[in-house]
Structure 1
Amino acid sequence: MFPISVTGYPRSGADAEYEQGESCRVELLDYRDIGEAESYDKIVSVGMFEHVGRDKLPEYFSSAWHALRPGGAFLNHGIACGGGGEARSRTKSRRPSFNDRYVFPDGELVPINVALSAAEETGFEVRDVESLREHYTLTLRRWVRRREAKHKEAKLATDEATDRVWRLFMSASAYGFSSGRINVYQTLLTKPDGGESGLPLTRQDWYSDQGISRSSTKGSSDNR
Structure 2
Amino acid sequence: MLNLIKRVHFPEGLQISGGVVKAALLNHVSTYHDLLNQAHRQAQIILRDANDEAERIKEKSRQLAANSVREDLVSLKEITARKENNLLDNSSSICTEVCVVVLEQFISTASDFLKIKTLAEALVIRSHSARELNLQANPDQVDLVKKVLAEVLAEQMNLRKWNVKADEELQPFELKISTANGAEINVSLNNLIAMYKEEIERLEPALVPVIKNLEVNSESIS
Q: Which has the higher contact order (CA 8 A, sep 6+)?
A: 1
| Higher Rg | 2
Asked if TM exceeds 0.5, the reply is no
TM-score if structure 2 supplies the norm length? 0.18
